Structure 1
Amino acid sequence: MKLRRTRMTIGTLMFAGAAVTLSAGSASAINWDHTRTYDGARVYFEEHGDIVKVCDTSKNGHAAEANVYENSPGDVGYTITVTTGTGTCKSRRASQGPMYNLMEGNNTYINLDGNGGTSYTYKWLNDH
């Protein structure tokens, strides 16, 4: 009887270990190409898949906002606004639709605002 319980315990532990390994292995971390922080907001940009992530980093009572454009800041683009509080983020990626699919070989501009007033524009060449 004692041997049977030991086998069941070992089997249970092996199954739990395999489940943890599978769940950890299936999650893929993004190795961001570009990261910038400005006045209570942080933006991450991954060129492969055109992923833009914006996070609110300050308890200043203002949303974090990023305006994303191609070629020049006056071009039509899209906006990501994080209104859910400090430490929260929102993201967009090319697979969500044509407006989020940034052209390779073009400059990508991200205007970042985290304090409800001033902002800063970052520019990167989207080359992959």
Structure 2
Amino acid sequence: MKSRKGVRAAVTLAAAALGALAFDGTASAAPLPPGGGSWDHVWKGSSGDFTIYVKEYGDVVSICDTKADGKTPTVWVGPGNGHTTQYWFTAPGGKGACNTKSSSDGAKYRLKRGQKYTVTGCAWGCNTWDFRDRH
């Protein structure tokens, strides 16, 4: 099912850590979530303007700006079918900027085990994905 230039994907997850820097063909920094490593879920905006990373252990969600277009990518995380938001945050600072939230940032960032969650990312067109917290 498409959601305004977006794709809905059913997945299972719990969220976690992000990061690192890589280089694209022009040798400018391309954002990856801080810390590197392997991610349980990686979603890209359909316009190539952001990437969302989720690692199931630690309830970590990260969003990175991947396009120099003057827009600030935003991610919303909420239980159920996306009509309720548990929390949201942005990746301000332009191309290469990332921002991360995890369970260690406080109670509102802790995802309930077994709960279905919807992740929506926007910079221009919105993309929506679903997952179920396993940790």
- Give the percent of matched residue pairs that are identical in Structure 1 and Structure 2: 25
Cα deviation for residue 31 of structure 1 reads 2.1
- Give the Cα–Cα distance (whole angstroms) in 1 for the partners of residues 117 and 54 of structure 2: 10
Distance 1:76 1:36, change over 3 A: closer
Instruction: Note the 1:18-97 alignment, pairs <5 A.
Output: 29-38=36-45, 39=47, 40-97=49-106
Correspondence 1:119 to 2:126: yes
Identify, as 1 or 2, the structure richer in helix: 1
- Give the Cα–Cα distance (whole angstroms) in 2 for the partners of residues 29 and 59 of structure 1: 22
Structure showing greater relative contact order (alpha-carbon pairs closer than 8 Å, 6 or more residues apart)? 2
Between structure 1 and structure 2, the one with the greater Rg is 1
Partner SS state of residue 120, structure 1:
strand
- Give the Cα–Cα distance (whole angstroms) in 2 for the partners of residues 29 and 61 of structure 1: 26
Check whether the contact 2:63–2:98 (CA below 8 A) recurs between aligned residues: yes
State the AA in 2 paired with 1:88: A
- Give the Cα–Cα distance (whole angstroms) in 2 for the partners of residues 87 and 54 of structure 1: 10
Q: Give the CA RMSD over aligned residues.
A: 1.3
Question: Hey, what does 2:8 align to over in structure 1?
Answer: none
The CA deviation string for residues 74-98 of structure 1, in whole angstroms up to 9 with x for no partner, is 1231111111110110000001111
Q: List 4+ stretches of structure 1 deviating above 6 A.
A: none
Question: Hey, what does 2:5 align to over in structure 1?
Answer: none
State the AA in 2 paired with 1:47: E
Using structure 2 for the length normalisation, give the TM-score: 0.69
Check whether the contact 2:76–2:85 (CA below 8 A) recurs between aligned residues: no
Partner SS state of residue 32, structure 1:
coil
